[in-house]
C-alpha cells in the first residue's frame, strides 16, 4: 500500500512539473534562450588561458617548429574595431595631419621660410620631426610586436620544464612572452595609439615614435602659442 501511494504521489508531482514546464515554454517560447548558450554551457572551466607545463598524464599535441616567430604583417591594419565612423588608426593619423598643417600654416604666415634663414630652419626642423613621427608610427603598426606561431615548442624538449604553456595557442611560451589574442614576444603593453601590442619587433619604432612626437608637439605648441600672441596683439 505504501509503495502504491508513493508511486501515485510521484506521478502527480511529475505531472505538475511537466505542466509547469509547458506553461513556461508557452509564455516565453524557445527564443528566450540564446542560440550560443549551449556552447557557453559546454565550455571547460579552465580559468586562466595560460598555465604551467602539462604533466605526463595529459594528452597535449605539441609541434616542434624550427621557426621562432610568425612571419606576417601586423593585424592592426586588418582590425575591424571602429570608433565612431572611422578606424582608430585613421583618427590618430588625422590628429598628426591637423597639427602638422596648422603649424606649417602659422609658421609660413608669421615667419616665411623664403624670406629668412630662421624661418627656413624652423620649418625644416618641424617637418623633419613630423616626418620621423609618422615614419616610426607606421612602422610600429605594420611590423607588429612579433608573435609565436600556434603550437610552438623549443627545439630541446628538456627546456619545456621551465616554460609556461598557453592553453589558447596550444603551445609553450618563450621567456617574457605574454598572451594578448596571440602569444606576443617580449610584450611590453597594448597601445591604443597603434591599435596593437608593443613587443620584440616594434619596440624600437614605438620608442622613436614617442620621442619625435613629443619633440614635434613641443615645437608646435611654441609656434602656435607665438602665433596666437601675435594675432591678439
What are the residue numbers of the active site?
191
Question: Helix, strand or coil for residue 9?
Answer: helix
d(CA 178, CA 175): 9
Smallest CA-to-CA distance from 182 within 141, 136, 139, 144 is with 144
131 touches 15 (CB < 8 A): no
Distance CA 46, CA 60 (A): 15
Q: Is 43 left (phi over 0), alpha (psi -120 to 50) or beta?
A: beta
Amino acid at each position: 500500500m505504501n509503495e502504491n501511494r508513493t508511486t501515485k504521489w510521484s506521478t502527480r508531482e511529475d505531472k505538475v512539473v511537466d505542466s509547469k514546464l509547458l506553461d513556461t515554454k508557452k509564455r516565453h517560447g524557445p527564443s528566450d534562450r540564446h542560440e550560443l548558450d549551449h556552447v557557453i554551457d559546454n565550455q571547460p572551466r579552465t580559468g586562466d588561458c595560460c598555465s604551467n607545463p602539462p604533466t605526463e598524464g595529459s594528452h597535449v599535441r605539441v609541434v616542434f617548429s624550427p621557426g621562432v616567430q610568425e612571419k606576417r604583417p601586423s593585424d592592426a591594419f586588418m582590425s575591424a574595431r571602429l570608433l565612431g565612423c572611422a578606424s582608430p588608426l585613421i583618427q590618430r593619423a588625422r590628429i598628426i595631419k591637423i597639427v602638422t598643417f596648422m603649424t606649417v600654416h602659422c609658421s609660413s604666415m608669421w615667419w616665411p621660410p623664403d624670406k629668412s634663414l630662421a624661418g627656413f630652419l624652423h620649418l625644416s626642423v618641424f617637418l623633419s620631426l613630423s616626418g620621423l613621427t609618422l615614419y616610426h608610427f607606421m612602422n610600429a603598426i605594420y611590423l607588429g610586436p612579433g608573435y609565436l606561431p600556434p603550437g610552438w615548442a623549443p627545439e630541446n624538449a628538456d627546456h619545456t620544464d621551465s616554460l609556461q604553456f598557453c592553453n589558447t595557442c596550444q603551445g609553450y611560451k618563450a621567456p617574457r612572452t605574454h598572451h594578448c589574442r596571440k602569444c606576443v614576444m617580449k610584450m611590453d603593453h597594448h597601445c591604443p595609439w597603434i591599435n596593437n601590442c608593443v613587443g620584440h619587433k616594434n619596440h624600437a619604432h614605438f620608442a622613436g615614435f614617442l620621442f619625435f612626437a613629443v619633440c614635434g608637439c613641443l615645437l608646435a605648441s611654441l609656434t602656435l602659442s607665438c602665433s596666437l600672441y601675435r594675432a591678439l596683439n
